[in-house]
Chain A
Amino acid sequence: MSPELVFQQALNGLSFGALLFILASGLSLVFGMMDVVNLAHGAFYMLGAYVALSVVQFTGSFWLALLVAPLALALLGLVLEPLLLRRLRGRHLDQVLLTIGVSLVIVDVIGQVWGREVRSLSAPAGLDGSVALIGGVYPVYRLFVIGFGAALAAAMAVIYRRTKIGMLIRAGVEDAQMLGALGVDTNRLFAATFATGAALAGLAGVIAAPVFGVQPGMDTDPGLLYSLVVVVVGGLGTLSGAVAGSVLVGPADTFGKVLFQDVALAVIFAIVALVLLLKPTGLLGRIRIAR
């Protein structure tokens, strides 16, 4: 590989990683707070992309879609948590099963409403061109994705560390029961967390649509598959873990696929296996006490 090629592939890997971070952050947040691996996360991501498709179709504005899709998903999360998940609180495995059911329903509803054809979304005007970079031109949108991912991570870090909501989240991750005993309304906190997780999935759906496309099957690959890989590699339930996971998985997957293309599908799982062998809690995970 020439230096130019390495540079270009590193950019590809970084922008892929940034997309993975946006995709995985919501899953990580919900798991950290509620101890639920939300297997409907991929379906939420898919729904976000389809909502964006309709918004762009009717208004022509990608930026409006970037606002509407996460809001729609947040609303869905606000309804689903009290309606379904709350009834099974404390029964984590049952909750996980429930989210599989939710994902099946969402994916089928999408098929009924939007059809089952392959669709795509264009990058918004201004970001749809390419700029000259070392070794040729590079799409502006992918550079934007890197910036967006970094900004989102920074914003989440500030909210985590500097705000009251962040404090509640950190406390909830530590011990939600104790938080309730101290007088915090955990029902509201959990509903808000689940809604935020869904909104982040919706956001990922919009941002990733111009790169990954919009089609049946996107809920599992790349949706659920890659977000699970990122949080497992990075460490379950922490923001820094999601960042570390995506910064590692993005470039590793990109280089792995082009260097070892005959085993491309296995590359990502080799990474997971390796990390789990060396550090079973993930790169930045902590040992959690089973409850």
Chain B
Amino acid sequence: MGGFAKNKLAEKRGYTYRLTRRQFLVASSAAALAACGPAAVTPSASPSASPGKELKIGQLLPFTGVYAELGNSMRRATTLYLNQNDQKIANRPVTLVYGDDANVTATGVQVTQKFIDQDQVDVMMGVVPTPLAYGIRNAVHAAKLIFIDTNAGGNALTRDTVDCKPSCKSPYIFRASFSSYQISYPIGDYLSAKGTKEFFLAYANYGFGTESAADFTTGLKKNGGNVTGNVAPPLGNPDFAPFVTQIKNQPTKNVYSFFSGADAIGFIKSWNSLGLPAAGYKMYGAGFLTEQDVLKEVKDLANGAITSLFWAVELDNAENKKFVADFQKSYPLLPDVFAVQQYDGMRALDEALKKLGGDTSDKDKLVKALEDVTFKSPRGDFAFDKSTHNPIQDIYIREVKTQNGQTVNTISDKIAKVADPGK
């Protein structure tokens, strides 16, 4: 192996590419390993763990790209939980393996494969975007890797679907967050039952936005409500004025929307500067429309908006008060809903493993133990639905108000024990 032929083009430009013998050997053997690696190292062959042994948790989160702050928040919650529990889960010292998906599905799929083959993690958690959760579903299912989804809310991840398209439930997949049905259908049902029956829809035009809009519509129609029209800006749309102008030029005054983050801020600002509140229009939405990340930027511009979510920082229960206080002791900011999801995911794993004495070797036993977990979470009573592995949880109806100079979500009502209709 005498190295490579010189690169003529590179030479012409004044620099050369030459591999040394050592570089070549490293590169070629790595390629050879990669080619036969996944087959050679079967994940089920990992040695059975006894209590006291390190517990490896793979965390697949975005730390770069548009969802980076969600990843940061979920990492803070993980750190907080471990700090509160002596860095142990069920008496096993925890080793965290973080992987950054950068909101790119292909990258996330690679990291998942690395968790399975190379790191041989005991449990996997995380995943922010739904397409990524769908993308890794088959890999974790085949590897019998316990995966606790702590954000992605696409309905299909915990449902039976035809030919498993775009995804379907797996015994090894649990969800500690929510399904998009849970944050959309109940409020549609609730509002129409209370007599507000006509709505115009505004939602980000991508999988999760359209799914949320469809579930809201189903809930609305249950009590004779109907949808009069819609606008659907692309996800990450820079200018919301054209869409809000469309809303202003149609007669339905109640507008249900699904936006989050930067989109929510752009939507609410345009909504006000184009004078919709004065013209009698009223804003409704899935809870992400008015979470803290949005409220701290738009403040009282969101006043009066009615949204639904399974948690609010203002929620009045002992667990939530302790959680918010502990979080603020560790970090100079309020926790958000993503932190709660991750925190509950850690808690669920902890509760399940305690019952097994920390033993993760028998995956089916662990699945059973997770199915039986119940505890008081900052969001209220937490339990997994045994047939879908999606949480059964209370949904809160919240109204944005500015009190003592702080703009907050005040809880106006509660819909108890909402389960996803998946079987």
Contacts and interface: CB of A to CB of B under 8 A. Distances in A.
A113 B234 CA distance: 29
B72 interface: yes
20 contacts: A8-B245, A9-B242, A16-B242, A111-B68, A116-B69, A116-B72, A117-B69, A118-B261, A118-B294, A120-B298, A135-B249, A139-B241, A216-B65, A216-B66, A221-B238, A257-B233, A258-B245, A261-B233, A262-B232, A264-B205
A230 B418 CA distance: 49
Contacts of A139: 241, 273-274
B297 A91 contact: no
A141 interface: yes
B241 A142 contact: yes
Nearest to A140: B273
- Counting contact residues on chain B (CB < 8 A from A), the size range is 35 or more
Nearest to A119: B297
B238 A137 contact: no
Task: Give the 9 A-B residue pairs with the shortest CB-CB distance, closest first.
Answer: A139-B273, A137-B275, A116-B68, A222-B238, A217-B66, A215-B262, A120-B297, A12-B241, A212-B238
B231 interface: yes
A214 B262 CA distance: 8
A2 interface: yes
Given A4-B249, A120-B297, A212-B266, 20 more contacts: A5-B249, A8-B245, A9-B242, A15-B241, A116-B69, A116-B72, A118-B69, A118-B261, A119-B297, A120-B298, A137-B278, A211-B238, A211-B239, A213-B266, A216-B68, A216-B69, A221-B236, A222-B238, A258-B242, A262-B232
Contacts of B246: 5, 258
B144 interface: no
B302 interface: no
Given A213-B266, A221-B238, A136 B275 contact: yes
A210 B240 CA distance: 12
A193 interface: no
Interface string A157-178: 0000000000000000000000
B239 A136 contact: no
Instruction: Find the residue from A108, A142, A213 having the highest chain B CB count within 10 A.
Output: A213
B68 A16 contact: no
A147 interface: no
Given A111-B64, A257-B242, A261-B232, A130 B72 contact: no
A214 B266 CA distance: 10
Interface string B219-243: 0000000000001111011110111
Contacts of B13: 91, 94
B76 interface: no
Given A141-B273, A258-B243, A118 B297 contact: yes
Contact of B245 (A12, A108, A115, A120): A12
Interface residues of A, number: 46
Given A135-B249, A138-B274, A258-B242, A264 B65 contact: no
Nearest to B103: A217
Contacts of B275: 130, 136-137
A115 B205 CA distance: 27
Nearest to A215: B262
B262 A118 contact: yes
Contacts of B66: 215-217
A261 B279 contact: no
Contacts of B160: none
Contacts of A120: 265, 269, 297-298
A265 interface: yes
* A contact face: mostly helix, strand, loop, or mixed: helix
Contacts of A261: 205, 231-233
A265 B234 contact: yes
A118 B249 contact: no
A139 B233 CA distance: 20
Contacts of A8: 245, 248-249
Contacts of B65: 216-217
Contacts of A108: 64
Contact of A16 (B232, B239, B262, B278): B239
A142 B234 CA distance: 21
Interface string A1-42: 010110011001101100000000000000000000000000
Nearest to A210: B269
A262 B205 CA distance: 8
Interface in B198-224: 205
A257 B72 CA distance: 33
Interface string A50-94: 000000000000000000000000000000000000000001001
A95 interface: no
Interface string A127-145: 0001000011111011000
Contacts of B242: 9, 12-13, 16, 254-255, 257-258
A232 B378 CA distance: 52
B293 interface: yes
Interface in A87-125: 91, 94, 108, 111, 115-120
A94 B237 CA distance: 32
Contacts of A222: 238
A139 B241 CA distance: 10
Contacts of B238: 211-213, 218, 221-222, 226
Contacts of A137: 274-275, 278
Nearest to B297: A120
Interface string B282-315: 0000000000011001100000000000000000
B388 to A, nearest CB: 31
Contacts of B294: 118
Contacts of B237: 257, 264
Nearest to B264: A118
B46 to A, nearest CB: 35
A115 B69 contact: yes
A124 B297 CA distance: 15
Given A139-B273, A139-B274, A213 B233 contact: no
Nearest to B249: A5
A258 B248 CA distance: 13
B69 A5 contact: no
A118 B243 contact: no
Interface string B57-69: 0000000111011
Interface string B247-274: 0110000000000011001100100011
A23 B65 CA distance: 22
A130 B69 contact: no
